[in-house]
Structure 1
């Protein structure tokens, strides 16, 4: 998989919340794109990251690892998580520690 398979856009919701929308496939080859966007948001002062995963179609273990790392660093909220990503998160029991929200609006709240 290549970088072209993952696009991430960032929107600052307010002084403390940044919304990152990921579209495509998150794997070891594209992970750095989401990681860099998250780092930029945190460096700019965000204390909450909302990841809109509604258009993320694939996530491997490196993506799951990034979710856990971000969860440890900040108030991470995953929004609009759909299959197959939702399935992978639940199979490895990460839904027990990660904040999953049905909508972006709910996660921002």
Structure 2
């Protein structure tokens, strides 16, 4: 675990790192987000929301794949964060992942930023 990392979870195909940035939490999934790995992202998102972080930034710059199960994890976190007065911001999506959000229309319900820095500044 990195010194700047609050926590991390790893499977063979997905590593999730979490860090605090002021009143926001930055969650970085790296690898493939699918049916087999979705809980590795769902659990830290739920934990952060339970700890009172209602503004979550998901750094997608290392996310190589996202299927409908992964998309549902993010949509579920968005609903919970918005109910708590915050939201889920997506940052740095690779084209292959951005395409999933575009095709499904999910990009319309998330605030999407070019970078984590831009998301934190918003």
TM-score bin (small chain): over 0.9
Q: Quick one: distance in 2 between partners of 1:68 and 1:39? A: 12
- TM-score between both structures, scaled by the size of structure 1: 0.93
Where do 1:14-53 residues align within 5 Å?
14=22, 16-53=23-60
Q: Determine if the alignment matches structure 1 residue 86 to structure 2 residue 98.
A: yes
Q: Which residue of 1 aligns with 2:6?
A: none
Cα offsets for 1:44-101 (capped at 9, x unmatched): 2111010000010000000111111111111100000112100110011111111111
- The size of the alignment, in residue pairs, is 107
Q: Quick one: distance in 1 between partners of 2:110 and 2:74? A: 8
Give 5+ residue unaligned stretches, structure 2. Answer: 1-10, 82-86
Kept after mapping to 2: 8 A contact 1:57/1:83: no
- TM-score between both structures, scaled by the size of structure 2: 0.84
Higher relative contact order structure (alpha carbons within 8 Å, sequence separation ≥ 6): 1
Give 5+ residue unaligned stretches, structure 1. Answer: none
Q: Quick one: distance in 1 between partners of 2:73 and 2:65? A: 14
Q: Determine if the alignment matches structure 1 residue 101 to structure 2 residue 109.
A: no
Q: Quick one: distance in 2 between partners of 1:95 and 1:60? A: 14
